[in-house]
């Protein structure tokens, strides 16, 4: 009986101790982790709850983020994007004298989302003479208006620094914001405003009459719904440009150009009812032009860089050329040709190559790298459409006996005596690209004495400077000044050289 009473007493003591421990665990002050009005999260530590032993923060992919704890607030040590979902874990250690009863350590975990500020209204109707302001659904500490970043006293209404009057009665800009100082800015939102009665009823972004990148998206915001402003018709682009119009909202249209972009170096116009909006598209880089021309075989140089692999990469490279090295394709390139070349700068070698490319593609052979040339050139580079036929160059020596020399792919393949201009009608010295290439034609003009000449049936003509040309012409002799500015050749020599002097071929006249 005594032993039985002892066992029962022990059980009662154990139950009482367990109950006391459970009561202590439930009643003991608990630490917690929750939202913070300034930091990433706040830690609540009532008296005797213990102290923070460690803090960890991870993103949805489990990547840890650097943080610090100050005054029971967790602060990130790197910029965090608005709306980012994070998991915060705090390990707390209780005082040792109570830990044996309620547990020495406890873990608290909470999910937090970094705050996001939304623009309440993107189409504003400010009164005449009033300041245009943006309203957010929560106060922000930093904004970027039109790309310019401003730090603010925390506020929900931010003026744009524009008064709705006169030329600013309508307009548009982009707005990005951050609620906390430690956040990165949100994605920009386009905001437009129209003062009631304003003459301008559509706002364009980028602003009209500015330069835009070939890859730019064009945005039109109308004071009235798109359906009322345009009916069922879409705006007309001139020149016609591949791409797609998308209606963003009831008042806004966006044009996204196709991968080869807006017309490089050209003017682009959008025709709207009662108004035309114009932009100037940024030109391509001369260096990139030379790189592609060299790669496709239109220059006497090679370029070590490779082709762009995608349309987007090709378009980006037009403005920002990739790294690479030019080198002469042939070891014995004439010095007169080498002197004409300058990497990255416009020169007659580049002009001739552009004209040759234009001629091959059926474009106007003006030697100007305009929008049509750039589009064709980018496409040719993507498709690796290299030129066949090699590189040709003609240089004429005026020292008696005068001679014409045809250089092709690294060697002189034809030398012939020729006649240049007489003293009263000299052949100009310099280098020019062939601009007209005909097998037969009539040559006419004025003699030095004022009389006129008209010679039909002249063969194998390659015009290179004004009325000056390489061509066949019957003379008793060759090698002395006898022409009125042209380079006259014997029939056989002219016939042989003519296939090697298509449009774009450089002709140098030198002493």
Q: What is the pTM of this model?
A: 0.78
Average pLDDT over residues 247-273: 94
Q: What are the extents of the domains in the chain?
A: 31-113, 123-194, 204-281, 286-382, 392-510
pLDDT level of residue 305 (50, 70, 90 thresholds):
confident
Token digits of residue 446: 């004025």
**pLDDT tens column, 376-424:** 999 999 999 999 989 999 999 999 999 999 999 999 999 999 999 999 9
How are strands ordered across the β-sheet holding 436-446? 436-446, 452-465, 468-472, 487-489
pLDDT digits (tens, 9 = 90+) for 40-71: 999 987 654 567 889 999 999 999 999 999 98
pLDDT at 95: 64
Phi–psi pair at 135, nearest 5 degrees: -115, 130
Query: Nearest 5°: CA angle at 268, between 267 and 273?
Result: 130
Question: In CATH terms, are 31-113 and 204-281 the same topology?
Answer: yes
Residue 103 contacts residue 69 (beta carbons within 8 Å)? no
Task: Indicate the helix (H) or strand (E) that contains 154.
Answer: strand 148-163
472 vs 392: CA distance, rounded Å: 19
Pick the CATH number of 204-281 from 3.40.1280.10, 3.30.70.60, 3.40.50.700, 2.60.40.3710: 2.60.40.3710
Closest CA to 501 of 468, 469, 456, 467: 469
Mean pLDDT taken over the chain: 90
Percent of the chain as helix, strand, coil, to the nearest 5: 20, 40, 40
User: CA angle 284-285-286, nearest 5°?
Assistant: 120
Nearest Cα neighbor of 446 from 435, 454, 456, 434 is 454
Q: How far is CA 389 from the centre of its chain?
A: 34
Identify which has the larger pLDDT, 44 or 475. 475
Question: What is the bridge-based pairing of β-strands 170-178 and 189-194?
Answer: antiparallel
Residue 2 has pLDDT above 90, yes or no: no
pLDDT tens digit sequence for 184-213? 999 999 999 999 887 778 999 999 999 999
**Among 271, 171, 255, 172, which residue's Cα sits nearest to residue 214?**
255
Bridge partners, 305 (sequence order): none
Query: Which H or E run includes 256?
Result: strand 252-257
pLDDT > 50? residue 249: yes
Cα separation of 501 and 492, whole Å? Answer: 15
Residue 37: which region, alpha, beta or left (left: phi > 0; alpha: psi -120 to 50)? alpha
Six-digit token string for 35: 């939202």
Among residues 233, 164, 216, 213, the alpha carbon closest in space to that of 192 is found at 164
Q: Closest Cα partner for 440 from 505, 494, 506? A: 494
Give the pLDDT of residue 308: 80
DSSP codes joined into one string, 442-457: EEEEE-TTS-EEEEEE
- pLDDT digit string, tens, across residues 69-90: 998 899 999 999 999 999 999 9
pLDDT at 505: 98
pLDDT above 70 as % of the chain: 91
pLDDT class for 130, splitting at 50, 70, 90?
Answer: very high
- One-letter-per-residue 3-state SS of 170-224: EEEEEEEEECCCCECCCCCEEEEEECCCCCCCEEEECCCCCEECCCCCEEEEECC
Q: Given this model, what pLDDT does residue 30 score?
A: 65
Q: Please, which pLDDT band fits residue 23 given cuts at 50, 70 and 90?
A: very low
Third-level CATH fold of 392-510:
L,D-transpeptidase catalytic domain-like (2.40.440)
Give the β-pairing of 41-44 and 411-417.
unpaired
Residue pair 195/127 in contact by the 8 Å Cβ criterion: yes
CATH of domain 31-113: 2.60.40
Q: How confident is the model at residue 16 (pLDDT cuts 50, 70, 90)?
A: very low
| C-alpha dihedral (353, 359, 362, 365), degrees to nearest 10 | 80
User: In terms of C-beta density within 10 A (0-12 exposed, 13-18 middle, 19 or more buried), how is residue 124 classed?
Assistant: buried
Tokens for 125, please give them.
């109707």
Q: Calculate mean pLDDT across residues 256-263.
A: 94
Instruction: For 123, list phi and psi in degrees, rounded to 5.
Output: -115, 110
Cα(62)–Cα(281) distance, integer angstroms: 44
Q: Which pairing describes strands 392-397 and 506-510: parallel, antiparallel, or unpaired?
A: parallel
Q: Hey, what are 288's tokens? A: 């990139």
pLDDT in tens, 448-462: 999 999 999 999 999
Structure tokens at 234: 């879409």
The structure tokens listed for 164 are: 């709705």
* pLDDT class of 25 with cuts at 50, 70, 90: very low
Is the separation of the CB atoms in 484 and 475 below 8 Å? no
Q: Cβ contacts of residue 510 below 8 Å, gap of 6+?
A: 336, 395, 396, 397, 398, 429
| β-bridge pairing 211-212 and 275-281 | parallel
- Sign of the CA dihedral 129, 134, 139, 140? negative
**Does 105 score more than 90 pLDDT?**
no
Instruction: Please give the pLDDT value at position 97.
Output: 47
Residue 167's SS3 state is helix
d(CA 504, CA 412): 18
Q: Which two tokens stand for residue 407?
A: 């250089």
pLDDT at 431 over 80: yes
Q: Tell me: the pLDDT tens digits for 334-368?
A: 999 999 999 999 999 999 999 999 999 999 999 99
What are the residues facing 176 on neighbouring strands?
Answer: 144
What the block records as the tokens of 170 is: 């309508």
- Determine the straight-line distance between the first and last CA of the chain, rounded to whole angstroms: 138
pLDDT score of 154: 84
């Amino acid at each position: 009986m005594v032993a039985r009473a002892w066992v029962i007493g022990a059980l009662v003591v154990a139950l009482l101790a367990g109950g006391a421990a459970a009561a202590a665990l439930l009643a003991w002050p608990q630490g917690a982790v929750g939202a913070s009005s300034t930091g990433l999260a706040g830690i609540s530590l009532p008296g005797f709850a213990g102290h923070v032993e460690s803090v960890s923060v991870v993103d949805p992919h489990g990547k840890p983020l650097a943080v610090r704890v100050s005054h029971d607030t967790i602060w990130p040590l790197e910029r965090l994007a608005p709306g980012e979902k994070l998991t915060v874990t705090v390990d707390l250690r209780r005082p040792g004298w109570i830990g044996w009863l309620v547990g020495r350590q406890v873990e608290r975990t909470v999910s937090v989302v970094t705050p996001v500020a939304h623009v309440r209204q993107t189409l504003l109707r400010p009164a005449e003479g009033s300041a245009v302001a943006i309203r957010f659904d929560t106060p922000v500490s930093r904004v970027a208006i039109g790309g310019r970043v401003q730090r603010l006293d925390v506020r929900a209404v931010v003026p744009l620094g524009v008064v709705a009057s006169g030329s600013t009665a309508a307009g548009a800009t982009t707005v990005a914001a951050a609620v906390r100082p430690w956040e990165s800015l949100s994605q920009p939102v386009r905001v437009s405003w129209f003062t009631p009665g304003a003459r301008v009823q559509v706002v364009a972004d980028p602003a009209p009459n500015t330069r835009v990148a070939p890859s730019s998206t064009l945005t039109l915001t109308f004071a009235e719904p798109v359906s009322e402003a345009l009916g069922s018709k879409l705006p007309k682009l001139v020149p016609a440009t591949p791409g797609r119009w998308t209606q963003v909202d009831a008042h806004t249209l966006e044009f996204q150009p196709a991968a080869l972009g807006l017309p490089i170096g050209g003017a682009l116009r959008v025709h709207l009812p009662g108004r035309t909006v114009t932009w100037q598209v940024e030109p391509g880089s001369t260096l990139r032009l030379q790189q592609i021309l060299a790669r496709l075989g239109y220059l006497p140089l090679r370029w070590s860089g490779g082709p762009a692999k995608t349309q987007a990469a090709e378009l980006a490279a037009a403005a920002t050329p990739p790294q690479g090295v030019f080198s002469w394709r042939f070891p014995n390139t004439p010095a007169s040709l080498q002197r004409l070349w300058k990497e990255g700068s416009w020169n007659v070698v580049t002009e001739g190559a552009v004209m040759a490319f234009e001629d091959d593609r059926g474009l106007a052979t003006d030697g100007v790298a305009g929008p049509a040339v750039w589009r064709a050139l980018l496409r040719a580079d993507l498709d690796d459409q290299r030129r066949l036929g090699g590189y040709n160059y003609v240089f004429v020596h005026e020292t008696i006996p005068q001679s014409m020399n045809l250089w092709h792919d690294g060697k002189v393949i034809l030398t012939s005596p020729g006649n240049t201009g007489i003293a009263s009608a000299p052949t100009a010295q310099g280098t020019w690209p062939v601009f007209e290439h005909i097998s037969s034609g009539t040559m006419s003009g004025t003699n030095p004495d004022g009389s006129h000449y008209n010679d039909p049936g002249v063969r194998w003509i390659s015009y290179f400077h004004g009325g000056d040309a390489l061509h066949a012409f019957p003379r008793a002799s060759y090698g002395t000044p006898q022409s009125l500015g042209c380079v006259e050749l014997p029939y056989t020599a002219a016939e042989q050289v003519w296939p090697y002097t298509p449009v774009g071929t450089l002709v140098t006249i030198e002493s």
